[in-house]
Structure 1
Amino acid sequence: MAAFTYIVRCADGTLYTGWTDDIEKRLAAHNSGHGAKYTRPRRPVTLVHLETFATKEEAMSREWHIKRLSRAQKLALVASSRGSGDAVH
């Protein structure tokens, strides 16, 4: 089963990083107010970066690493994924 690490841009311009095994369902949860506590008051969210992994452990590890990046580094990651066509817009 595939797992995903993702970054969404919130309505206030902040970034949120998470992982899931169903990206469509997770985005719907974020935008309906049933997602993460952080994103609830910052809706809507837009997917700006997505990485696919074979296992949830890999996705969780990548989430942990991304969450430790600075905002500038996260923005560079988002920009690089747009150039490679990996991000979902």
Structure 2
Amino acid sequence: MPHFVYMLRCAGNRIYTGYAVDVEARFEQHKSGKGAKFTKAFPPECILRKFELPSYEQALRLEARIKKLAREQKELLAGGDDAIAAELLAGLNETLEEKSARERKERRAVKTCNKTAKTCDEKAKTCDKTVKTCEKKLRDKRKRLKESVQDA
């Protein structure tokens, strides 16, 4: 059974995003005032776009992703921007195991990066100490040279 995520144009030029198995029936519910609180306050005018997905979980993930978009991105998506759609649909098929493996890999990469940064910081401190030591030796040498010139 297919699952759908849909986008509606509502009163006040607002966009509503929802999930349904039957988008047209759900749209009629929204129009009759029996849908979501949002569509009671801002009655729907038309269906802007709908996405068919093979599973309930994927549909809910897509709905959540769309709801997090900025208004401008929602407008582009509703208008048929396939680049945004492709970006949103990417990774929806990821299983929990794949997601866990990807997150572990990302954490390891961050940990490695942090270790590298720490090593670089330590090297920079050592370098700073070396520079300070050299500067001190140079000052001392100049001072001794100046004193020897004055003594002569």
After TM superposition, the score normalised by the length of structure 2 is 0.51
- Write out the 4+ residue segments of structure 1 that deviate beyond 6 Å after TM superposition: none
Stretch deviating more after TM superposition (18-27 or 36-45): 36-45
**1:67 Cα shift?**
0.3
- Label 1:44 to 1:69 Cα distance change in 2 as closer, same or farther (>3 A): closer
**Percent identity among equivalent residues?**
37
Kindly report which structure 2 residues correspond to 1:40-79, keeping only aligned pairs within 5 A, or say none: 40-79=40-79
**Number of residue pairs matched by the alignment:** 82
CA offsets 1:5-32 (integer angstroms, 9 cap, x no match): 0110102110111111111110010000
Greater helix fraction, Structure 1 or Structure 2: 2
CA offsets 1:8-67 (integer angstroms, 9 cap, x no match): 010211011111111111001000000000111211431001100111111111000000
Structure showing greater relative contact order (alpha-carbon pairs closer than 8 Å, 6 or more residues apart): 1
Secondary structure of the residue aligned to 2:6 is: strand
Q: Structure 1 unaligned segments of length 5 or more: list them.
A: 82-89
Q: Which residue matches 1:28? A: 28
Please report the RMSD computed on the Cα atoms of aligned residues, expressed in angstroms.
1.5
Greater strand fraction, Structure 1 or Structure 2: 1
Q: Structure 2 unaligned segments of length 5 or more: list them.
A: 82-152
